[in-house]
């Protein structure tokens, strides 16, 4: 009689819940999970909450492709990591550069946490090879996209902060970013637009025009595309998480383009 009552209640047997959990775990290829664990061992981190570590390396295209609600992408962790890296860099600049003005610290921080800088740091760590991405994103070179790489750098920091606290996040940044910051690696990135303006004025002159061509992504993680023209000639293009950042990258690419023209021109 108790058996009949349990069936009539409409409750699902415990076995179905176990199946759901097994299915969610099988979403992540074991070989790639192992590569992530090996990378953490190399960095000296042991995550208590493995789901946070896996989430940090899960792109939205992968979640959309598999359509499993129990798997979350890394966008929320990226949001948190963005705040973590900005606070950590602010603290480092305040502590290690006592003679630097507020304006100079703001510019240097912006150069250190911009998309081009973070994407290079993520590439150095090999994070692009560890990300779970959808087949379509894979086929279009998603692992090499600066926006994706910068996002996964931040999402990893967000996961590390939640799992092990600010000290460990600071430790990771000490190794991957702050040494470069101390050696002036980001100083040249502080204002490409001004550098370009000076270069154009010294040479032929002309009018520089920045145009925002595209804007995409969720509200908390927008990606802008900018085109830079000298009169009617396109000098450079750039992307970034703000209009200013996209314009700075376009100016950087324009400077590279002009330098290449000089070196390949008649001697």
Class of domain 28-189: mainly alpha
Catalytic residue list contains 137: no
pLDDT, one tens digit per residue, over 160-213 is 999 999 999 999 999 999 999 888 888 766 678 877 887 888 776 788 999 999
Provide φ and ψ at 224, rounded to 5°.
-110, 145
Looking at residues 138-151, what average pLDDT do you find? 90
pLDDT at site 248: 84
User: What's the CATH code, domain 192-264?
Assistant: 3.30.160.20
> pTM of the entire structure?
0.68
Binding-site residue positions for Mg(2+): 78, 151, 154
Q: Which of 73, 75, 82, 137 is catalytic?
A: 82
Q: At CA 90, angle to CA 256 and CA 130, rounded to 5?
A: 65
Q: Where in the chain is the domain with CATH 3.30.160.20?
A: 192-264
Residue 154 annotated as catalytic: yes
* Known binding residues: 78, 151, 154
């Amino acid at each position: 009689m108790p058996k009949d009552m349990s069936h009539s209640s409409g409750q699902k047997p415990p076995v179905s819940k176990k199946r759901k959990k097994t299915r969610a775990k099988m979403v992540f290829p074991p070989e790639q999970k192992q590569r992530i664990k090996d990378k953490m061992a190399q960095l000296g981190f042991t995550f208590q909450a493995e789901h946070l570590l896996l989430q940090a390396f899960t792109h939205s295209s992968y979640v959309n492709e598999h359509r499993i609600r129990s798997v979350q992408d890394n966008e929320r962790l990226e949001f948190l990591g963005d705040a973590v890296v900005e606070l950590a860099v602010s603290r480092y600049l305040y502590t290690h550069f006592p003679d630097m003005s507020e304006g100079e610290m703001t510019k240097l921080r912006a150069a250190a946490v911009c998309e081009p800088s973070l994407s290079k740091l993520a590439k150095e760590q090999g994070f692009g090879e560890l990300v779970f991405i959808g087949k379509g994103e894979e086929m279009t070179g998603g692992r090499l996209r600066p926006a994706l790489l910068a996002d996964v750098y931040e999402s990893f920091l967000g996961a590390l902060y939640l799992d092990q606290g600010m000290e460990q996040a600071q430790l990771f940044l000490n190794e991957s970013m702050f040494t470069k910051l101390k050696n002036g690696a980001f100083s040249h990135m502080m204002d490409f637009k001004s550098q370009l303006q000076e270069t154009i004025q010294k040479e032929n002159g002309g009018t520089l025009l920045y145009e925002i061509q595209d804007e995409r992504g969720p509200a908390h993680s927008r990606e802008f595309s900018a085109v830079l023209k000298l009169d009617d000639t396109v000098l450079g293009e750039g992307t970034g998480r703000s209009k200013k950042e996209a314009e700075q990258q376009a100016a950087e690419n324009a400077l590279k383009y002009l330098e290449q023209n000089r070196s390949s021109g008649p001697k």
